[in-house]
């Protein structure tokens, strides 16, 4: 048998196995919102917590810790939710723990939720890193792979079994990464007893941020009626002055239902309505959703109220769900990124969900502070490097007009074994979950399916072709990209992306200390990528570490002066190329962030223009001046909103 023949057979088998395992997601994942028919009970606060330190990390399962109160199984500590557990105690073994940790909380469910058989009670976890199993009163209700997206389970019948008992929720979370997880990792056992203690192993990761773990986003119970609005899909467009909102409502619990869909403006006035489960709403004198600094009234949101009435088993059910809707379009040409048919230039940041003590736990003061800093900076966009951020953050982006490149956790795909069919099929599921969750956010303008994969490896071609095609089939309204640091000539996935996003660290990782190479190398980078692919380009990362307060002139690496000088050299090239086909620049990074310990990291990555505590380094002022200048030039701001003149 010839080699190409057997290769073709393998390819077919591979395809079959990939698509055989990808099932469409059953049901929607609407963000839980209170309404006249829905209640929400947050379970944030202190949970009982126990890390399974047994040699195989399996004692919790062997002894069925979920069957009784966690405190009866052994010593527990108090653990805040949401938060990463790593930096909460003084114990280095918990900071660096790998394996299963157990959380538990008892909660009293309101009596009506139990007595009213027409009410569904759903337990939802905003996210937990990485693999989770959930039990209620000792019974498994769900499990979920992936650290950055929500999962839920209906628990109505379970909690009705013994109405007098509090409801005991147990969540086991495992942060182990393998070659087939997203992000990938490997566990390495060190068996040389002359060098390592018994049972010693490490988790190798191929990404540059601390692998924080635990329950990172809110846990809550919410109710819906037995017949309920399960999902809403909205696609928007406009013609002249008329906005078009194409919608589709999915209902669960009954074969038929009467629906009333009402679109309201900010003042609560009805601007369009319909009675069908799908259709197009027309909005006269539409107020479009505009990015921050592109319009005097950015982030305009309508409210789409979906009101359902259904009769099932001789009972009448009523459900109300209200979805914020921004009306806007996104298009890509060979040289431009268009929002509402106007050229949009990304002047923004890359971020992380990362802060002192909390790690990756959702924290409102931090979120609001970060938005204030983004707006102070004059940034109009960010990329959710390197995983999906909390929905609460995307809702802020919708309201403030901050444009988002929404990235999945495909970071560190470096090993050829991570291009196999198990990895690809999981990656497809993650994209399903991501698009299902984020499809209705007007702020999300592009999907990024990966960051710096080894895209020059031969299997990358099939992998990214499949992944990008799949993502486009899920959502035909947004462009799709992945972020490359590969060579333009060898990159296998670039033919399939809509926008080329390139990371480069000239005069940092390459030619360290030689700022003079930047104009030549950056110019060549742009010309090569554009010359070969004729697609618009975003400089999706560039930057330099700077320790705040470290100074040297002439500049040396790690000083604030060097960070400034490096950024300015990049900016000179951006200013030439943005007149042609460069459509954006995203600084690496918004703020310093924690990484694994390594000889090239001094308590984390210091490429932030703000410190981890969100204080500006000198570079923040350089960028602020630039971003406001760019906004004044490229945005369509009326003169009275042009700001700050004093810069």
Nearer to ligand GCB, 386 or 577 (CB): 386
Candidate residues 607, 612, 624, 626; the one interacting with ligand GCB per rule CB under 6 A: 607
Candidate residues 48, 230, 452, 592; the one interacting with ligand GCB per rule CB under 6 A: 452
Residues 364-403 binding ligand GCB (CB under 6 A) are 386
Closest-approach residue to ligand GCB (CB): 208
Candidate residues 384, 451, 481, 539; the one interacting with ligand GCB per rule CB under 6 A: 451
Q: Give me the 43-72 binding string for ligand GCB, x by CB under 6 A, dash otherwise.
A: ------------------------------
In whole angstroms, the minimum distance from the beta carbon of 42 to ligand GCB comes to 32
Nearer to ligand GCB, 172 or 501 (CB): 501
Nearer to ligand GCB, 265 or 415 (CB): 415
At residue 514, φ and ψ (nearest 5 deg) are: -105, 80
Question: What residues contact 219, with CB distance under 8 A and at least 6 apart?
Answer: 42, 43, 44, 81, 82, 105, 123, 124, 125, 126, 169, 171
Catalytic residue among 452, 541, 560, 585: 452
DSSP calls for 406-423: EE-S-B---SGGGGSHHH
Q: Give me the 224-243 binding string for ligand GCB, x by CB under 6 A, dash otherwise.
A: --------------------
End-to-end CA distance of the chain: give it in Å, rounded: 71
Which tokens hold the place of 96? 């660096």
Distances (CA, A) of 636 to 43, 239, 345: 44, 20, 12
Clarify whether 452 is annotated catalytic: yes
Nearer to ligand GCB, 127 or 595 (CB): 595
Question: What residues contact 540, with CB distance under 8 A and at least 6 apart?
Answer: 350, 383, 405, 483, 501, 502, 503, 584, 586
Nearest to 502, CA basis, from 483, 528, 478? 483
Residue 291 and residue 251 in contact, taking contact as beta carbons nearer than 8 Å:
no
Residue 541 touches ligand GCB, criterion: CB under 6 A: yes
Nearer to ligand GCB, 384 or 451 (CB): 451
**3-state SS class at 587:** strand
In whole angstroms, the minimum distance from the beta carbon of 566 to ligand GCB comes to 12
Residues 249-288 binding ligand GCB (CB under 6 A) are none
Kind and range of the H or E run holding 620 = helix 618-634
Nearer to ligand GCB, 239 or 599 (CB): 599
Nearer to ligand GCB, 48 or 354 (CB): 354
Residue 605 touches ligand GCB, criterion: CB under 6 A: yes
Question: What residues contact 80, with CB distance under 8 A and at least 6 apart?
Answer: 45, 46, 47, 88, 361
Nearer to ligand GCB, 59 or 415 (CB): 415
- CA dist., res. 203 & res. 605, Å (int): 19
Candidate residues 52, 208, 491, 585; the one interacting with ligand GCB per rule CB under 6 A: 208
Residue 485 touches ligand GCB, criterion: CB under 6 A: yes
- CA dist., res. 289 & res. 329, Å (int): 9
Nearer to ligand GCB, 588 or 628 (CB): 588
In whole angstroms, the minimum distance from the beta carbon of 85 to ligand GCB comes to 23
Beta-sheet pairing, 258-264 with 302-312: antiparallel
Which tokens hold the place of 580? 């042609």
Nearer to ligand GCB, 443 or 605 (CB): 605
Half-sphere exposure at residue 547, Cβ-oriented, CA atoms within 13 angstroms: 11
Residues 544-603 binding ligand GCB (CB under 6 A) are 588
Question: What residues contact 410, with CB distance under 8 A and at least 6 apart?
Answer: 182, 183, 386, 427, 430, 449, 450, 451, 453, 482
Residue 148 and residue 409 in contact, taking contact as beta carbons nearer than 8 Å:
yes
Distances (CA, A) of 465 to 350, 449, 497, 503: 25, 11, 9, 21
Nearer to ligand GCB, 386 or 478 (CB): 386
Burial class (CB in 10 A: 0-12, 13-18, 19+), 593: buried
Task: Give the Cβ contact number of residue 476 at 10 Å.
Answer: 8
In whole angstroms, the minimum distance from the beta carbon of 211 to ligand GCB comes to 13
In whole angstroms, the minimum distance from the beta carbon of 386 to ligand GCB comes to 6
Distances (CA, A) of 320 to 63, 153, 228, 304: 44, 20, 8, 10
In whole angstroms, the minimum distance from the beta carbon of 524 to ligand GCB comes to 19
Residue 99 and residue 138 in contact, taking contact as beta carbons nearer than 8 Å:
no
- CA dist., res. 516 & res. 560, Å (int): 17
Task: Give the Cβ contact number of residue 512 at 10 Å.
Answer: 11
> How many residues of this chain bind ligand GCB (CB under 6 A)?
11
Nearer to ligand GCB, 219 or 565 (CB): 565
Residues 281-340 binding ligand GCB (CB under 6 A) are none
In whole angstroms, the minimum distance from the beta carbon of 352 to ligand GCB comes to 9
Residue 563 and residue 551 in contact, taking contact as beta carbons nearer than 8 Å:
no
Kind and range of the H or E run holding 143 = strand 139-145
Residue 491 touches ligand GCB, criterion: CB under 6 A: no
Residue 354 touches ligand GCB, criterion: CB under 6 A: no
Which tokens hold the place of 259? 């629906």
Candidate residues 137, 503, 563, 569; the one interacting with ligand GCB per rule CB under 6 A: 503
- Residues for the chain: how many in total? 647
- By annotation, the residues acting in catalysis are 452
- Which residues contribute to the site for ligand GCB (CB under 6 A)? 207-208, 386, 451-452, 485, 503, 541, 588, 605, 607
């Amino acid at each position: 048998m010839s080699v190409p023949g057997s290769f073709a057979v393998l390819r077919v088998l591979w395809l079959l196995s990939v698509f055989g395992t990808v099932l469409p997601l059953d049901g929607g994942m609407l963000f839980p919102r209170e309404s006249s028919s829905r209640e929400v009970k947050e379970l944030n606060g202190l949970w009982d917590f126990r890390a399974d330190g047994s040699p195989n990390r399996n004692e919790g399962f062997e002894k069925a810790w979920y069957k009784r109160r966690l405190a009866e199984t052994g010593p527990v500590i108090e653990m805040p939710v949401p938060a990463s557990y790593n930096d909460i105690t003084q114990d280095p073994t918990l900071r660096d723990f790998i394996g299963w940790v157990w959380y538990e909380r008892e909660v009293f469910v309101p009596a009506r939720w139990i007595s009213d058989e027409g009410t569904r009670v759903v337990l939802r976890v905003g996210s937990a890193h990485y693999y989770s199993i959930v039990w209620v009163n000792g019974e498994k209700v769900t499990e979920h792979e992936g650290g950055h997206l929500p999962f839920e389970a209906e628990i109505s019948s379970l909690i009705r079994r013994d109405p007098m008992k509090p409801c005991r929720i147990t969540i086991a979370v495992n942060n182990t990464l393998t070659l087939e997880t997203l992000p990938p990792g490997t566990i390495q056992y060190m068996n040389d007893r002359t060098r390592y203690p018994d049972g010693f192993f490490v988790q190798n990761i191929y990404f540059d941020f601390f692998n924080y773990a635990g329950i990172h986003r809110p846990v809550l119970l919410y109710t819906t009626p037995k017949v309920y609005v399960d999902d809403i899909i909205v696609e928007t467009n406009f013609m002249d002055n008329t906005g078009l909102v194409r919608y589709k409502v999915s209902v669960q619990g009954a074969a038929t239902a009467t629906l009333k869909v009402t679109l309201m403006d900010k003042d609560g006035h009805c601007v369009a309505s319909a009675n069908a489960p799908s259709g197009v709403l027309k909005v006269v004198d539409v107020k479009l959703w505009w990015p921050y600094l592109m319009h005097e009234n950015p982030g305009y949101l309508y409210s789409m109220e979906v009101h359902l009435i259904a009769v099932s088993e001789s009972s009448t059910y009523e459900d109300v769900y209200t979805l914020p809707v921004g009306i806007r379009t996104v298009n890509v040409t060979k040289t431009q990124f268009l929002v509402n048919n106007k050229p949009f230039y990304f002047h923004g940041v890359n971020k992380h969900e990362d802060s002192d003590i909390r790690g990756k736990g959702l924290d409102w003061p931090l979120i609001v502070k970060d938005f204030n800093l983004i707006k102070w900076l004059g940034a109009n966009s960010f990329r959710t490097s390197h995983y999906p951020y909390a929905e609460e953050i995307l809702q802020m982006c919708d309201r403030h007009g901050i444009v988002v490149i929404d990235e999945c956790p495909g970071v560190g795909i470096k090993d050829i074994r991570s291009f196999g069919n198990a990895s690809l099929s999981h990656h497809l599921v993650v994209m399903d979950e991501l698009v299902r969750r984020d499809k209705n956010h007007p702020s999300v303008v592009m999907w990024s399916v990966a960051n710096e994969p080894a895209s020059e490896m031969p299997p990358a071609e099939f992998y990214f072709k499949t992944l990008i095609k799949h993502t486009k089939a899920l959502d035909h309204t947004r462009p799709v990209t992945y972020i490359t640091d590969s060579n333009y000539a060898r990159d296998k996935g670039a033919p399939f992306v809509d926008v080329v996003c390139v990371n480069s660290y000239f005069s940092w990782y390459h030619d360290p200390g030689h700022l003079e190479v930047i104009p030549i190398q950056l110019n060549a980078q742009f010309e090569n990528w554009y010359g070969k692919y004729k697609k618009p380009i975003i400089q999706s990362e560039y930057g330099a570490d700077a320790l705040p307060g470290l100074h040297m002139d002439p500049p040396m690496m790690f000083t604030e002066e060097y960070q400034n000088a490096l950024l300015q050299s990049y900016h000179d090239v951006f200013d030439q190329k943005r007149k042609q086909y460069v459509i954006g620049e995203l600084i690496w990074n918004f703020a310093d962030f924690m990484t694994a310990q390594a000889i090239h990291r001094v308590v984390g990555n210091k490429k932030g223009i703000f410190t981890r505590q969100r204080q500006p380094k000198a570079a923040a002022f350089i960028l602020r001046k630039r971003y406001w200048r760019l906004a004044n030039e490229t945005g369509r701001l009326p003169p009275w909103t042009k700001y700050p003149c004093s810069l």
